[in-house]
Amino acid sequence: MRAVLITGCSAGGIGSSLATAFQRHGYHVFATARSVSKMSHLASLPNMTLLTLEVTSSTSIQAAVAAVEDSGHRLEVLVNNAGIAPVMPLLDQDMAGAREVFETNVWGGLALVQAFKEVLVSGGGCVVNVGSMNALAVPAWMGVYNASKAAQHVLMETLRIELEPLGVRVLTVVTGAIDTVVMTKQAGTFRLPEDSMYTAIEGKLRERAEGHEVVPRTTPDDYAEVSRDEQGWCVEGKK
């Protein structure tokens, strides 16, 4: 049975909606997240395997590769969706946290493609990257996230060129405003450093971090179906 592996499938996010969309369209889905308990809502669906996967850990990635290989399913699509989207002025950004964003949003996706390269090339597979309009629009207070998504876009566009001769398709979807838990996970925890130069607007930044800014947002379920239909995503076969 053809299969897809999707990272970042915790409840309330894009990955979760993609998992159910692919499952409805006849794929065996390997839904992954840092914690399987955050994907419990998917457990009862047929043709759904839940895997623990930390995209910054080579050990965790190799365990996922082994699980897919042992399953007997044919991996056709790899979806790099896992990501971190902190809100923090660049002057106040903790550097260790900044590096973690790049490890997850940029290098984690590349590490997965490298780990699954044999099966992707042998089967003429497809790599889908959930990118962001922040790579182009660069809104304030999300500088590290913006930079990580710009780096992801350039990295994966280069990978698209390099994998095309090997028969592997690479897509990077420039995603807009989606109503996900990623945009609210800082609720109740956002704090500026005591020496921040932005304390006068801390309340506004907290609203941003908690996802309260007034902008139209697409639901994760609508995003999953629209992206699949308009982009192709290799779901109905190679283009």
3-state DSSP helix/strand/coil percent for the chain, to nearest 5? 50, 15, 35
Whether 204 is catalytic: no
Q: Is residue 236 part of a domain?
A: no
Out of 27, 38, 145, 223, pick the active-site residue.
145
Say if residues 89 and 141 touch (Cβ distance below 8 Å).
yes
| pLDDT surpasses 50 at 235 | no
pLDDT band at 80 (very low <50, low <70, confident <90, very high): very high
Measure the CA–CA gap between 56 and 169, rounded to whole angstroms.
23
Q: Is residue 194 part of a domain?
A: yes
Measure the CA–CA gap between 10 and 41, rounded to whole angstroms.
9
Q: Is residue 115 part of a domain?
A: yes
Q: Is residue 237 part of a domain?
A: no
Measure the CA–CA gap between 234 and 206, rounded to whole angstroms.
39
Which phi-psi region, left, alpha or beta, contains residue 79 (left: φ > 0; alpha: ψ -120 to 50)? Answer: beta
Which residues, in sequence order, are CB contacts of 194 under 8 Å at separation 6+? none
Q: Is residue 104 part of a domain?
A: yes
Number of domains in the chain: 1
Measure the CA–CA gap between 31 and 199, rounded to whole angstroms.
40
Mean pLDDT of the chain: 90
Instruction: Pick 212 or 33 by higher pLDDT.
Output: 33
Q: Which pLDDT does position 120 carry in this prediction?
A: 97
Cα torsion for 84, 89, 94, 99, to the nearest 10°?
Answer: 40
Whether 239 is catalytic: no
Identify the three-state secondary structure at position 98.
helix
Out of 38, 149, 185, 223, pick the active-site residue.
149
Q: Is residue 238 part of a domain?
A: no
Range of the domain at 138: 2-229
Q: Is residue 214 part of a domain?
A: yes
* pLDDT tens digits along 61-77: 999 999 999 999 999 99
pTM over 0.85: yes
Q: Which pLDDT does position 175 carry in this prediction?
A: 78
| pLDDT surpasses 80 at 180 | no
Q: Is residue 235 part of a domain?
A: no
Residue 28: which CATH number?
3.40.50.720
